[in-house]
Amino acid sequence: MEKVGVLKTSIERINAKAGLNIQLVLNEPKAFSSGMWKYGQFSGVKNYFVMAGPKGKEAEEKIGYFGEELVILAQTLGLNTCWVGLTYKKIPGTFTLRDGDVVHCVISLGYGTIPGVQHPQKPMENFYESDGLPPQWFKDGLEAALLAPTAVNQQKFKFILHPGGVVETRTSFSMAGYVNIDLGIVKYHFEIGAGKDHFTWE
C-alpha cells in the first residue's frame, strides 16, 4: 500500500499542475478481460491509470508527458507498466469524468512476467535537424527520446535545434494516431537525457 500512496500523491500533484484528471484504478479485472482483440493481449491486469483530461492537442501532449512521469515512477517502485490505446474496455463506475473530459488511453500497472523488450531503433539522424554538429546534451536528449515508447513504435517525431539552445518539436501524420501523446512521452525523455538547464522549448 505504500507504493499506492506514492502513486496517488504524484497523481494529485500532476492533476493540480496540469489540469488533467488522471485516476488510479485498483483491483478491477474487467478492462482487460475481453477476448475480442487480435493483438495487444493482456493477462491478469487488475490495476491501471485512467489517463483522462480535456480534448485537444495540448491536453494530449500533457497526457503523454505526465503519464510517462508516472511510468518512470512506477518503474522505480518495482512495478511494470504499458501504455494502452485500444485494447481495453471502459468500465462504468471505476472512474469519473468532469464536463469536457475524455479518456485518452490507459496505462496498465503491475508485476509483469517479463521486463519488456526493446524495439529496434532507427538511426538518430532521422529524428533531428541542426545547423552543424549538435552539442552532446542534444544528442543525449535525443538518445533518451529514442528509447521512449510510442504507439506501435511509430516514432513520428522530430527535434529541431535552433540557436541559443532553443528546441522545437514536430510531428508527422500517422494512421495509428496518438502522435501528440507520443510527443509528450518523448519530450519527457528528452528532458531527462539532455538536462533541463541546457535548453528551452520553443
Reported as a pLDDT band with limits 50, 70 and 90, residue 38 is very low
Domain that holds residue 195: 124-201
**The predicted structure's pLDDT at residue 152:** 87
Mean pLDDT (whole number) for 78-86? 91
Per-residue pLDDT at 83 exceeds 80: yes
105 and 30, same structural domain? yes
Please identify, among 59, 88, 110, the residue that sits at the C-terminal boundary of a domain: 110
Is the same domain home to 132 and 171?
Answer: yes
Averaged pLDDT for residues 44-64: 96
Rounded to whole angstroms, the Cα distance separating 100 from 55 reads 7
- What is the dihedral sign for C-alpha 144, 149, 153, 155? negative
Write the pLDDT tens digit of every residue in 138-180: 999 999 999 999 998 999 999 999 999 999 999 999 998 999 9
Give the pLDDT band (50/70/90) at residue 35: low
Contacts of 27 (CB under 8 A, 6+ apart): 46, 47
Residues 90 and 146 in one domain: no
Residue 37 is predicted with a pLDDT of 47
Same domain for 105 and 129, yes or no, is: no
CATH number at residue 137: 3.40.109.30
Q: What is the pLDDT of residues 178-199, one digit of tens each?
A: 999 999 999 999 999 999 999 9
Amino acid, res. 201: W
